[in-house]
């Protein structure tokens, strides 16, 4: 077993301090279309050819490509004609726009929105509130009003969330057997990717996406095909409007946006609307009970500070919120992936 003396702490600290450079290289290559071009070309290309196609400088592109090679996002082959670059399998699957599992849209959301809020992290820590006002000049009192500040921004956010569920959705929906629930409401279901995963996994179910009117309109126009008759829509604000009766309510990445009082308020409404024998499925990234990790979840919680009114929680903290609303028989399943599942029964 390694001792602390075996660790190169100065090197670790330097790597931590430059961590944002790694993500920015990947975001920039996505934004400029490097991975898309290499996929479409069907053959490796030189840095000069890539720069010409994408309208960039040759010196800047060569450095970007070499950094992507270092990150294992590209491979390089040295030939008599010079260095030729091609995508790795990971880049083809996750970083090209045309891939069913593409994470391009969430990358662009992080690059263009999240990064700007994180610039004011020290202010968020001092003040204990999100930083939309400093980042975008928009009131911090309405986090989703800031996220949906234009149709273009709303589309980016919804597409980004959909891309997450394209790789994480099935894991959380299969954490418990949800087949007994045929009538499901997906509260804050956004672009509908989780709803589509749900009806695919449980073909006898119907899912109603409950979200703000402008979100529902965008989901119908951009994301959910009209021929998918197992998915319906309900326009409303679940804090201020009534919640219809259903057998199961899915709250995926909803409670982490809000403080405990708001969570209790929403869960009480869900419990009241829920049919006897029904339940609620929470999909969240769970902290360890001693808050020692996982690191990804700790960083998500920092992101909740700079962007929302909420935080990430432990399984016990979510269980207490469910119990306060009246739910029982609470079960927790850690998926081993980014998001976990908590099921409560009425």
Span 169-185, pLDDT tens digits: 999 999 999 999 999 99
- Given this model, what pLDDT does residue 291 score? 95
Angle at alpha carbon of residue 257, lines to 256 and 258, rounded to 5°: 95
pTM of the model: 0.91
Contact 207, 214 (CB under 8 A): no
Peptide linkage before 294 cis (omega within 30 of 0): yes
Which residues in the chain come in under a pLDDT of 50? 1-3
Report how far residue 301's alpha carbon sits from residue 151's, in angstroms, rounded to the nearest whole number.
Answer: 27
Share of residues in the chain with pLDDT > 70 (%): 98
Mean pLDDT of the chain: 94
Question: Which residues does the annotation mark as catalytic?
Answer: 256
| C-alpha to C-alpha distances, 205 to 178, 236, 268, 346, nearest whole angstrom | 9, 22, 24, 19
Counting Cα atoms < 13 Å in the Cβ hemisphere of 132 gives 17
> 274-284 and 340-345: which strand pairing?
antiparallel
**CATH code of the domain made up of 103-345:** 3.40.50.150
**CATH code of the domain made up of 4-95:** 1.10.10.10
CA gyration radius for the chain?
A: 22
Structure tokens at 166: 């394209």
Angle at alpha carbon of residue 105, lines to 119 and 170, rounded to 5°: 115
Report how far residue 230's alpha carbon sits from residue 157's, in angstroms, rounded to the nearest whole number.
Answer: 24
- Given this model, what pLDDT does residue 130 score? 94
* DSSP SS3 for 55: coil
| C-alpha to C-alpha distances, 321 to 212, 325, 329, nearest whole angstrom | 24, 7, 13
Residues 41-92: tens digit of each pLDDT = 999 999 999 999 999 999 999 999 999 999 999 999 999 889 999 999 999 9
Structure tokens at 146: 């800031």
Residues written for the chain: 346
Structure tokens at 73: 């996002």
The ranges assigned to domains in the chain are: 4-95, 103-345
Q: Burial-class residue 213 by CB neighbours within 10 Å (0-12, 13-18, 19+).
A: exposed
Angle at alpha carbon of residue 55, lines to 49 and 59, rounded to 5°: 65
- Given this model, what pLDDT does residue 5 score? 54
Residue whose structure tokens are 């990430």: 312
């Amino acid at each position: 077993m390694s001792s602390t003396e075996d660790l190169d702490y100065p090197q670790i600290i330097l790597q931590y301090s430059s961590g944002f450079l790694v993500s920015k290289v990947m975001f920039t290559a996505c934004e400029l279309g490097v991975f898309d071009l290499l996929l479409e070309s069907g053959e490796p290309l030189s840095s000069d050819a890539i720069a010409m196609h994408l309208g960039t400088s040759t010196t800047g592109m060569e450095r970007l490509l070499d950094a992507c090679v270092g990150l294992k996002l590209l491979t390089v082959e040295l030939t008599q004609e010079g260095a030729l670059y091609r995508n790795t399998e990971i880049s083809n699957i996750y970083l090209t726009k045309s891939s069913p599992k593409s994470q391009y849209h969430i990358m662009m959301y992080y690059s263009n929105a999240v990064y700007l809020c994180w610039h004011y992290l020290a202010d968020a820590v001092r003040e204990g509130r999100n930083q939309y006002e400093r980042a975008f000049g928009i009131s911090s009192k309405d986090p989703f009003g800031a996220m949906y500040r234009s149709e273009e921004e709303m589309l980016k956010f919804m597409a980004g969330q959909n891309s997450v569920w394209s790789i994480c959705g099935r894991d959380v929906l299969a954490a418990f057997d949800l087949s007994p629930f045929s009538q499901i409401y997906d509260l804050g279901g956004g672009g509908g990717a989780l709803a589509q995963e749900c009806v695919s996994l449980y073909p006898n179910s119907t899912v109603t996406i409950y979200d703000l009117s402008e979100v529902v309109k965008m989901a119908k126009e951009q994301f959910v095909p009209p021929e998918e008759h197992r998915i319906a829509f309900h326009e409303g604000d679940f804090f201020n409007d009534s919640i219809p009766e259903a057998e199961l309510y899915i709250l995926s990445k909803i409670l982490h946006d809000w403080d405990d009082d708001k969570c209790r308020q929403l869960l009480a409404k869900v419990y009241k609307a829920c049919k006897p024998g029904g339940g609620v499925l929470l999909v969240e990234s769970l902290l360890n009970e001693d808050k020692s990790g996982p690191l990804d979840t700790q960083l998500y919680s920092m992101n909740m500070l700079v962007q929302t009114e909420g935080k990430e929680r432990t399984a016990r903290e979510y269980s207490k919120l469910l119990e306060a609303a009246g739910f029982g028989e609470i079960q927790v399943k850690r998926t081993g992936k980014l998001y976990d599942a908590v099921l409560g029964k009425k």
